[in-house]
Structures are given as structure tokens and as C-alpha cells.
Amino acid sequence: MKCKILHESNGRMRVRFCMSRMTMKQADIAEYTLSAAVGVTRVQVFDRTCDIVIAYTCPREEIVRKLSHFSFDDERNASLVPEHTGRELNRQYENRLAGVVMKRVVNRFILPVPFRRIISVFKAAKYIFRGMKCLLKGKLEVAVLDATAIGVSMLRGDFGTAGSVMFLLNVGDILDEWTHRKSVDDLARTMSLGVEQVWTKTADGQEILMSVNEVRRGDMIIVRTGSMIPLDGKVVSGDAMVNQASMTGESVPVHKSAGAYVYAGTVVEDGECTVCVENTAGGGRYDRIVKMIEESEKMKSAAEDRASHLADRLVPWSLGGTLLTWLLTRNASKALSILMVDFSCALKLAMPISVLSAMRDCSRAGITVKGGRFMEAVAEADTIVFDKTGTLTHSSPRVAEVITFGGRSEDEMLRLAACLEEHYPHSIANAVVAEAAKRGLIHEEFHSKVEYVVAHGISSTVEGERVLIGSHHFIIEDEKCTPPDERIFRHLPKEYSHLYLAIGNEVAAVICIEDPLREEAADVVRKLHECGISRVVMMTGDNERTAKAVAEKIGVDEYHAEVLPEDKAAFIRAEHEARRKVIMIGDGVNDSPALSEADAGIAISTGAAIAREIADITISANDLYALVELKRLSNALMSRISWNYRTIIGFNGGLIGLGVLGVLPPASSALLHNASTLAIGLKSMTELK
């Protein structure tokens, strides 16, 4: 691309592309392409002037080479740009704001006074109508204050003050809407489904695992229990109970059968269905996420509700103070100064913006939060409950050994186990599939329909014989499968978790899973204690011996072994009865009841889809330090909300006092009030840490 270097200093360069105009799409391509270059720390693109500012740490020659090879027509560059970038949204509000300011300048300095007064009357009608509508509903809210201030000013013949108030209110509304929509947009762009692969059915009935980006409209995909539906489409066969809470708000799973429509981001809680894809990756997903953020009641924390109610409760006091000031002083200007200042604008703007900004900060740290009240719950929590497998241990355990019985082949048993486990991704299931791939074992479908038994295992049929894979409790105790020799089980390696494979009601193999502890687990537990968590609990389905060893290594306050899903949920209910706030963290289908029961349920990003769907928060699987970061950000959010309360009440209270004393005229009070509201809103948008 031909361009000209306008200015440069150490680590910074301003470049102008040699082109007459740059579209917003081209600006996005330039920004995201150059930002992806190694050594580039920041890129700003000004599409109106075709200028680009680049901050970098790499050699200058690398930047020059990157610019010279850059092309808007390169499809690889275009693919780096997300579906929504926020540039168009910002331009929309920039234009609206510029239009309002230009109209004000023309009205104030060009139009004759009679015309200005007529325009003021027409504009005032909108605000007075809003106030009257509010009164007719029996409510005293901010609209009544605005209507009273404007109406009184005009009755006094002070059209200049009325016009200034309406101008500031208009600008304030645009800025409020802009900051809120920008926060929602920033958050929505960080949220994704996290589905990379999907099972597709070919014309001859075979199932193939392929990238979700390769799926096209009209393809058939198969979704089973515990998995997320990755794309919109229509069910062509099968029956499933689908959790649609993330898209529709329905708390009860919905039955889906042939002919029903299913949405990307929803989860199959039970059953299985084949879906004909109608929208490929990206189609309509952003809009639904934005809708979820804006409409979900989960967005509203208790702090936001308190701010909203307090704002409305202060309106009668403002009106009463205005009337009392006029009765005592008979000075309309002093009385009007009170009407020009209200607490509600800042309270109703700053609190939601603070929460949205905190959620955005979490997203940047690899943490997805579904609503502000969950961050508030994390800040107030005193108890955290950990599942062990895939949470305190690595999310990618590995097969250490395969022990077979009855002369069976080790590879054949592993092949069969992988064939069953690949349908229901979990950390242990992933380990079995990975080991089969490592050994070059191809496991084509040769079994009947597989059934998943929550917290126990998988059941299917192969060549007329029933095949089971799961825990000792499931295979030996529940299904009464015959062990080759009970004494053999006593000598199984104790340092491993054991996965039992049974064929025809007889134990055929035991797969030993090595599940090493996360290196950071003990340090994370210590830091959670430092951040205010008084009780760290571990709950696992493992035996007492394994659970005790893990608990001692990481330093939890207590542990519970050989627990079932309902036991975890019952424990959290008991904690609630003891008036404790509880966080639950897990990654499997069996953790779902407890995740739902907790004040804040946290899932690991690589865990089962149903766990991620039910959970209120999802953290990256890279390490557990994200938990510590979540706790710190949540604590920082509550501190910011407290600061906002003190600042808003103190500053606006001071403006009212100065207005009553006659120090500030009404227009100045309105200007300072709106400026402070904007400043607090902008402060609330900044990073918490």
C-alpha cells in the first residue's frame, strides 16, 4: 500500500495512506491487520483523514515492511475483522452530537430572538409532555423535575435558561445512550460460544467431526446430551430437551423434536437431535448476545437496583426543596437552581456503566460474566466449593496405563473406549480420545446409540453385546458387572483414577488416568483466603484416600469424598441456610446442579457445554489465577460503586447549596451537574485496576 510518513518519534509513527477517502470497513481492516503484527502495541485509524497512528516496540523496518505489503483486498486481512467492531456505533453518535451542537450554534447566534423563542416553545413541549405523562401515572420521577425547570423558566420569560437546559438535557441523553451502548457493544464483542468442532452427518449416514467454520447452510449436525448447539437450524430428527435460558430467558428446558427451530448458544440437557443448519457461524449471534445483555434481569445487581430506587425517591425531595426555597426567599432563581440539579441522572448512569465496564475487564482477563449481580455475589462470598477433576487438576489428564482382562487386546479396548467417550466431552473422556489418537487407533462408529448416565458413565451396544464405561460405582455396584478377580482390583495403581470398561456384563479393562494437580492450585487457595474467602471446600467423587491426599497438598479447609451431584447441591443449600454466600466451580455435567444452586456458579471454559450454560461465570482453562482476578475485580467493582455514591451525593448536594445561597445561577448549576454526570460516567468506564 502506498503511504506517506507524516511524523515519527521513538516507537511511534503517524502515516497517511495515499487515497482520497477511506471507508469504515477499510479502517477496520487496517486497524485489525496492523494490530495483529508482532511488536505493534497500539493502532489508531482516522478514516476521515486516512491517517494511522502506530505504536510499536519492534524495529522500525518491520513496520515499514508491513505497511508496504498491506492490502485492503487481501482476504486474510479481512478475516481478522470481527463481525462488529464498534466503529460504526461511535460514528453514529459522533454525528448526532455534532448535529445537536451545530443546531445550538445556529439557534443562538444566527436566528432572530422571536424565532428562537418559538423554537424553544416547540422543544419545551416534548419535555413538558413527558412530565405530565409521568404525573398521570402517579409517579414523581426525573421527567417531572425537567418539565418543571423548563416550564418555570419559560413562564418567567427566561427563554435563554430554558434553551440552555434543553440543550444540556439533549446532549446528556445522547452521551448517556452512547456510553451505555458502547459498554454493551464492548462486552458483546468479547463473548462467544466457544464451540470449535461439531459432529456432522454425511449423506450415507456416517458421522464426521469437523470445524464449525467449515459447516455450510443445509449441512446436518448432531448434538447430544451436555453439548451446546453451535449454529441456528431446524431439527430434522430426534428428541431433545434444550436449555434456552441464554437466548429466551426460559428457565425450564424446552422439548424439541422434528420441525422445531433451535438456536446457537443453547444447550441440549437431555436427548439427541439432528439439526439442518440455516445460519452459519456468526449469523445473528451478536444481536442475540446484545439482546441478552440488555434485557436479562441477571444484568441488574442489587447495587444497581438500590441506585435506581434511590434516584426516584429523591425526586419528591427536590420538588419539596424547590417549593420551600421559593416560599422562604421569594427568589425564583434560587428555587430554580434546585430543579436544575438532580441525583438520578448520575446514579442511573454510573452504576450500570460501572458494572458493564467491570464485566468487560473480566472478559479481557479470560472471564465471561453473565450479569452484574454475580460479580456482587463473588465480592460478598465467604465460601468457595471446588470440584476436583478438571478444576483443581489439569483439564487435560492423560491415560497412564490400560489394564485388560481375559486376554483382550489393550489397543482394542482403548479403541472401543474412545469410540464411546468421544460423544460426551469431559476432561477424562478427552484423555481417552487423545490417547487413542496418539497411538494411531482409528475408532469408526460401530456401536448403537450411546446413552449418558450423569455422574456415572456411558452405555451402548456393540455387536449385540451391552458395553458400559464409567466409574467403579457404576460398573460394579449399580450394573453388577462381574470382575475377573476381586483381588486384581486391590492391586490397581493407587496413584491413578480408574475408568472401568465392561462388555457383556463382564469387566474387560481398567483405564488408569493420570490427573496431576494444577501447579498453581495451592497458591490460588492461599490468595483466595487473602482476598476475603474464609472457607475453601473440595468435593469429589473420588475415594477417601485420593481426596485426602489432594486436600492436604493444596490446603483446602475441608473436603468431601465419594459425593454425587445431588450431594454437592445439598451442601450448598445447607450453607445458604447458615447464611453464607457460596461460589461453586466445576467443569462437568455432574456439577450442573451445584452450579445452579450457588450464588455464583463458575465453569471452566473447556468443560461440558451444559456446565458452561448453567454457570453464571466462565473462566479460562489456562490456570486458576483467573479466580483470584475475578475476586479482585469484583471487590474493586463494589469499591467503585461506593465511591460513585459518595461523589454523586456530595457534589450534587454542594451544587444545590450554592444555588440556594445565590452563588450559582440556574444555567451554571445545570451545566456543572451535567458535566459531573458525564465525568462520573466516563470514570466508571475506565479499567478497575
How does residue 379 score in pLDDT terms, banded at 50, 70 and 90? very high
Of 260, 290, 320, which residue sits at a domain end? 290
Residues 509, 522: one domain?
no
- For residue 534, pLDDT over 80 is answered with yes
Of 514, 538, 558, the residue that ends a domain is 514
Domain of 560: which CATH number? 3.40.50.1000
Average pLDDT for 597-607: 85
In this structure, the answer to whether residues 372 and 311 fall within a common structural domain is no
Cα–Cα distance measured from residue 346 to residue 293, given in angstroms and rounded to the nearest whole number: 21
How far apart CA 552 and CA 446 sit, in angstroms, is 44
CATH number, position 455: 3.40.1110.10
181 and 310 co-located in one domain? yes
* Whole-number Å distance between alpha carbons of 317 and 304: 21
Q: How far apart are CA 24 and CA 8, in angstroms?
A: 25
Long-range contacts of 488-491 (CB under 8 A, 24+ apart): 488/405
- Residue 342 domain flag: yes
Interacting residues of 376 by C-beta distance below 8 A, sequence separation 6+? 301, 302, 303, 634, 637, 638
Predicted model pTM? 0.62
Task: Give me 19's grid cell.
Answer: 487515497
Regarding whether 505 and 403 lie in a shared domain, the answer is yes
Residue 111's pLDDT band, with cuts at 50, 70 and 90, is confident
Q: How far apart, in whole angstroms, are the C-alpha atoms of residue 263 and residue 195?
A: 13
Residue 673 lies in a domain: yes
CA distance 29 to 47: 11
Neighbours of 568 (CB within 10 A): 28
Domain count across the chain: 5
More confident residue, 359 or 633: 633
Please choose, from the candidates 684, 659, 663, the residue with its C-alpha nearest in 3D space to the C-alpha of residue 149: 659
**pLDDT of 609 strictly over 70:** no
Pair 137, 125 in one domain: yes
Together in a domain, 304 and 184? yes
State residue 524's pLDDT score: 94
The verdict on residue 360 lying in a domain is no
Task: Mark whether 16 and 34 lie in a shared domain.
Answer: yes
Residue 631 belongs to some domain of the structure: no
Residue 15's pLDDT is what? 93
The CB-side HSE value for 446 (13 A sphere, CA atoms) comes to: 12
What value does the mean pLDDT take over residues 362-371? Answer: 80
Angle in degrees, CA 192, 197, 201, rounded to 5: 130
The pLDDT tens digits of the residues spanning 253-309 come to 788 989 898 887 778 877 889 999 886 654 445 555 565 555 544 445 566 566 666
Domain residue limits at 440: 398-514
Q: What is the largest CA-CA distance in the chain?
A: 104
Q: Quote the distance between the C-alpha of residue 659 and its chain's center.
A: 43
684 or 197, higher pLDDT: 684
Counting residues of the chain whose pLDDT is more than 70, the rounded percentage is 85
Q: Which of 56-70, 117-131, 613-627, 641-655 has the lowest mean pLDDT?
A: 613-627
The answer to whether position 361 is within a domain reads no
User: 484 and 445 in one domain?
Assistant: yes
In a domain, 629, yes or no: no
For residues 245 and 238, give the distance between their C-alpha atoms in angstroms, rounded to a whole number: 21
Domain of residue 271, CATH code: 2.70.150.10
Average pLDDT over residues 199-226: 81
Bigger pLDDT: 507 or 446? 507
Looking at 81, 110, 129, which one is the last position of a domain?
81
Q: Are residues 531 and 458 in the same domain?
A: no
Q: Which of 174-188, 216-230, 492-506 has the lowest mean pLDDT?
A: 174-188
Asked if residue 250 has pLDDT above 60, the reply is: no
Q: In this predicted structure, what is the pLDDT of residue 446?
A: 57
Residues 553 and 498 in one domain: no
Task: Give the per-residue pLDDT at 338.
Answer: 76
Encoded amino acid at 33, one letter: T
Q: What is the mean pLDDT of the chain?
A: 81
Q: 47-56, 102-111, 344-353, 565-574 — which is least confidently predicted?
A: 344-353
Residue 192: pLDDT above 60? no
Which has more confidence, 237 or 389?
237
The pLDDT of residue 201 is 87
Residue 295 lies in a domain: no
Residues 320, 418 within the same domain? no
What residues does 499 pair with on adjacent strands? 511
Query: Mean pLDDT over residues 418-442, rounded?
Result: 82
pLDDT average, residue stretch 8-28: 90
Q: Are residues 662 and 592 in the same domain?
A: no
| Residue 458, in any domain of the structure | yes
